[in-house]
C-alpha cells in the first residue's frame, strides 16, 4: 500500500504525476488556501505533506496527526514550520535550498534598480498621462554604479548578490552572524565585514537576505532606519517580520530614507495598506524565486525530499537530522 500524502496548494502537473507514482495523494489543484483547522483535518491518516510557505505547520497540527512522518516545504525558508515540534514528534522537515539562489539574487537587483532609479513611480506617472515634457529634475534617483552596497545576511543568496555588484563597480560591505572566510569574501567582490549599525550608516543601498527567526524579528526598525542615509535604498527579499513595516512606512513618508523595494511583508498577503499610499516604494507579491525554471526546480526538489523521506532514505535537504535518531 502506498503512503498517503497531501499536496496543500496547486503545483505543476508533472510534479503531481511524479508524486502519484509513489503515493496515494490528495492534491489541492484548486489552490484553496487551507487554514490550520482544515489542514489538520485533511492530514488525518496521511504520512507526508508537500507544503507551501503559506501553510502554518504548527505544533498543534503536528501533534494532531500522529502518523505524520515528513513535512516537505517548497521554499528555502521554513519559519512556517515548528521545527522543534516536528523533531520532538519524529517528523522529518525539509526545504529547497540552492536551486533558487541565482534567480533570487537577480530579483534583488531588479528591486534595487527599480527603487533607486524610481522606475515604478515614473511608470505610473507616464501611464496616468502626466508626462508632457522632459525636465532636468524629473524623477532624479540615486546612482547604483560606484555606490556602496550593504548586505545583511551573507549566505548563498547574499554572496550571489555581492558577485553581481562587480559589474557596477561597487564597494560591498556585509553583516552576518558569522564572518565569511577570506576566500569567500574575495569571491563576493571583496566584501568587507562590518557591524550592523556601521553598515547601515555606511551603505548607499541595503539589501536584506537573512532568515526569519525570533532573533531577527524587526532587525530593521525605527532606530535602524534613523542610522541610514537620507539618500539610501532599502530592499527586503528575505521574509516579512525582519522589517518593522510601520516604522518603514513612517521613514519613507518623512523622507528619512529615499526609497524601498519590498518583496515580503509582515502578515502577507495582508500587507500594511500604508505602503499603497507611497510613491517611493516598489512592491511585489513575494516573487523573488518566480522564474519558470526555478519554481519547477523547487517543486521537484520538494518532491524528491518527500519521496526519500517516505521510502526509508535520508532526504537530501533534511532540516532536523537529529530526528533520524528517533
What Rg, from alpha-carbon coordinates, does the chain have?
A: 21
Categorize the per-residue pLDDT at 20 as very low, low, confident or very high, splitting at 50, 70 and 90. very high
Q: What pLDDT score was predicted for residue 249?
A: 98
Cell of 165: 555588484
> What's the pLDDT tens digit per position in 203-261?
999 999 999 999 999 999 999 999 999 999 999 999 999 999 999 999 999 999 999 99
Give the whole-number percent of the chain exceeding pLDDT 70: 100
What is residue 324's three-state secondary structure?
A: helix
215 C-beta neighbours (distance < 10 Å), count:
9
Q: Report whether pLDDT(326) > 80.
A: no
Cell of 215: 532573533
Annotated active-site residue in 9, 118, 268, 295: 268
Annotated active-site residue in 118, 175, 286, 295: 286
Q: Annotated catalytic, 175?
A: no
Q: At residue 124, what are phi and psi to the nearest 5 degrees?
A: -60, -40
* Cis amide prior to 269 (ω within 30 degrees): yes
DSSP 170-236: -EEEEE-SSPPPHHHHHHTTS-EE--HHHHHHH-SEEEE-PPP-TTTTTSB-HHHHHHS-TT-EEEE
Q: Give the span between the Cα atoms of 28 and 54, in whole angstroms.
A: 14
User: Region 129-155: what's the mean pLDDT?
Assistant: 97
Between helices 101-116 and 119-127, what is the axis angle to 10°? 60
Structural domains of the chain, with CATH: 4-98+292-325 (3.40.50.720), 101-283 (3.40.50.720)
Q: Annotated catalytic, 38?
A: no
> What's the pLDDT tens digit per position in 263-316?
999 999 999 999 999 999 999 999 999 999 999 999 999 999 999 999 999 999
Nearest residue to 32 (alpha-carbon basis) of 3, 59, 55, 12: 55
For 151-165, give one letter per residue: b (16+ CB within 10 A) or e.
bbbbbbbbbbbbbbb
Annotated active-site residue in 9, 164, 239, 295: 239
Host H or E run for residue 113: helix 101-116
User: Region 180-195: what's the mean pLDDT?
Assistant: 98
Q: What pLDDT score was predicted for residue 81?
A: 97
To the nearest 10°, report the CA torsion of 286, 83, 19, 4. -130
- Taking CA 52 as the corner, what is the angle to CA 239 and CA 113, rounded to the nearest 5 degrees? 40
40 C-beta neighbours (distance < 10 Å), count:
17
Q: Annotated catalytic, 268?
A: yes
Q: Report whether pLDDT(180) > 80.
A: yes
Quickly tell me which residue has 517543486 as its cell: 299
Nearest residue to 315 (alpha-carbon basis) of 64, 45, 50, 104: 50
Categorize the per-residue pLDDT at 134 as very low, low, confident or very high, splitting at 50, 70 and 90. very high
- CB 141 within 8 Å of CB 114: no
Q: What pLDDT score was predicted for residue 325?
A: 86
131 C-beta neighbours (distance < 10 Å), count:
12
Q: What pLDDT score was predicted for residue 32?
A: 95
Amino acid at each position: 500500500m502506498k503512503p498517503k500524502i497531501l499536496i496543500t496548494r496547486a503545483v505543476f502537473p508533472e510534479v503531481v504525476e511524479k508524486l502519484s507514482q509513489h503515493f496515494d495523494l490528495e492534491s489541492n489543484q484548486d489552490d484553496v488556501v487551507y487554514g490550520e483547522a482544515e489542514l489538520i483535518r485533511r492530514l488525518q491518516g496521511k504520512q507526508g505533506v508537500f507544503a507551501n510557505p503559506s501553510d502554518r505547520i504548527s505544533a498543534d497540527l503536528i501533534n494532531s496527526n500522529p502518523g505524520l512522518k515528513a513535512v516537505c516545504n517548497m521554499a528555502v525558508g521554513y519559519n512556517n514550520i515548528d521545527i522543534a515540534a516536528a523533531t520532538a514528534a519524529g517528523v522529518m522537515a525539509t526545504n529547497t535550498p540552492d536551486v533558487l539562489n541565482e534567480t533570487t539574487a537577480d530579483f534583488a537587483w531588479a528591486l534595487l534598480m527599480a527603487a533607486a532609479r524610481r522606475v515604478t513611480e515614473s511608470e505610473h506617472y507616464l501611464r496616468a498621462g502626466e508626462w508632457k515634457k522632459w525636465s532636468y529634475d524629473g524623477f532624479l534617483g540615486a546612482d547604483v554604479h560606484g555606490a556602496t552596497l550593504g548586505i545583511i545576511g551573507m549566505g548563498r543568496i547574499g554572496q550571489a548578490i555581492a558577485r553581481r555588484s562587480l559589474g557596477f563597480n561597487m564597494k560591498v560591505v556585509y553583516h552576518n552572524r558569522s564572518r565569511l572566510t577570506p576566500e569567500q569574501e574575495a569571491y563576493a567582490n571583496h566584501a568587507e565585514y562590518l557591524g550592523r549599525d556601521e553598515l547601515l550608516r555606511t551603505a548607499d543601498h541595503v539589501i536584506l537576505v537573512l532568515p526569519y527567526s525570533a532573533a531577527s524579528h524587526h532587525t530593521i526598525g525605527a532606530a535602524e532606519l534613523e542610522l541610514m542615509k537620507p539618500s539610501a535604498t532599502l530592499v527586503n527579499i528575505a521574509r516579512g517580520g525582519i522589517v518593522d513595516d510601520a516604522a518603514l512606512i513612517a521613514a519613507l513618508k518623512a523622507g528619512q530614507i529615499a526609497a524601498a523595494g519590498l518583496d515580503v511583508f509582515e502578515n502577507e498577503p495582508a500587507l500594511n495598506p500604508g505602503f499603497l499610499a507611497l510613491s517611493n516604494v516598489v512592491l511585489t507579491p513575494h516573487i523573488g524565486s518566480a522564474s519558470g525554471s526555478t519554481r519547477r526546480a523547487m517543486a521537484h526538489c520538494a518532491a524528491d525530499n518527500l519521496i526519500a523521506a517516505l521510502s526509508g532514505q535520508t532526504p537530501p535537504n533534511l532540516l532536523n537530522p537529529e530526528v533520524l535518531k528517533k
